[in-house]
Amino acid sequence: MTSVQDILNSRRTVYRFTERVVEESSLEMAFKAASNAPCHKQTHPWNYYVLGLETRMELVPTVISMAKEKASKTSGDESDQSVNRAVSKIMDIPTLIAVTTKLSPQDSFREEEDYAATVCSLHNLVLSLWDMGIGSQWSTGSITRHPSTYSVLGIEEEKERIVGFLKAGYPESIPKIEKKSSSEIRKYLP
Ligand SMILES: Cc1cc2nc3c(=O)[nH]c(=O)nc-3n(C[C@H](O)[C@H](O)[C@H](O)COP(=O)(O)O)c2cc1C
């Protein structure tokens, strides 16, 4: 069995997945880990929405119009290729999960603590998946913030904020990335 330390130190964001489906039993195990994250005042501010293909299809028109708008502003290339790439980022991912955190418009400190707790929960989910050989990528792309995403997913914008999508699947490749050494990030004070 892999040790917790190995899981923490080996995890990397995965951008390319094989076609293998992520088993529901694995997702359920990871959601249990997500649910066990710390949260102040027991607010449990996180929710996870697993997007099936039907729901993803409903996002496609928005994805296409955003891809065309972006292309016309930058390269001027509105070719099928860039649009197809954008659609593929939603449709061809084995598992796509929207992660939300509870909003507290009357209490900014609560909202900040709740966001921190949601990130703890999300990372529990990520690490639990990694322990099962499943990679993931946290994405904050513009589709995660678009009003039509909230309406397609049935999320009330005044109550919950989508903090990102988690794309998950079995890794096709695992990127190598340099991290700061521990001596660079910590100071022992007298
Ligand atoms: C808050 C947050 C938002 C992120 N959003 C994106 C994103 O929109 N697109 C993307 O490709 N990666 C995104 N990532 C993944 C980071 O790019 C990745 O964590 C970073 O390159 C470090 O690599 P590592 O996760 O392998 O350590 C995000 C990560 C975090 C923590």
pLDDT at residue number 122: 98
Q: What is the mean pLDDT of residues 140-167?
A: 98
Instruction: Give the whole-angstrom CA distance, residue 87 versus residue 63.
Output: 6
Instruction: Give residue-wise pLDDT tens across range 27-40.
Output: 999 999 999 999 99
Residue 166 CA to ligand 1 center (angstroms) comes to: 10
Instruction: List pocket residues of ligand 1, CB cut-off 6 Å.
Output: 12-13, 137-141, 164, 177
DSSP string, 18-34: -SPPPPHHHHHHHHHHH
Cβ burial, residue 146 (10 Å; 0-12/13-18/19+): middle
Q: What proportion of the chain, given as a percentage, has pLDDT over 70?
A: 97
pLDDT at residue number 81: 87
Q: With a threshold of 0.75, does the pTM exceed it?
A: yes
pLDDT at residue number 71: 85
Instruction: Give the whole-angstrom CA distance, residue 132 versus residue 23.
Output: 11
Q: Which residue has the tokens 């292309």?
A: 71
Residue nearest to atom 9 of ligand 1 (CA): 139
Asked if residue 59 has pLDDT above 80, the reply is yes
Instruction: Report residue 107's pLDDT band, with 50, 70 and 90 as the boundaries.
Output: very high
Residue 138 CA to ligand 1 center (angstroms) comes to: 6
Instruction: Report residue 12's pLDDT band, with 50, 70 and 90 as the boundaries.
Output: very high
Residue nearest to atom 11 of ligand 1 (CA): 139
Domains of the chain: 4-174 (3.40.109.10)
pLDDT at residue number 146: 98
Instruction: Give residue-wise pLDDT tens across range 40-55.
Output: 999 999 999 999 999 9
Task: Tell which atom from ligand 1 comes closest to the C-alpha of 140.
Answer: 8
pLDDT at residue number 76: 60
Residue 137 CA to ligand 1 center (angstroms) comes to: 7
Task: Tell which atom from ligand 1 comes closest to the C-alpha of 11.
Answer: 26
Task: Tell which atom from ligand 1 comes closest to the C-alpha of 163.
Answer: 1
pLDDT at residue number 75: 64
pLDDT at residue number 1: 53
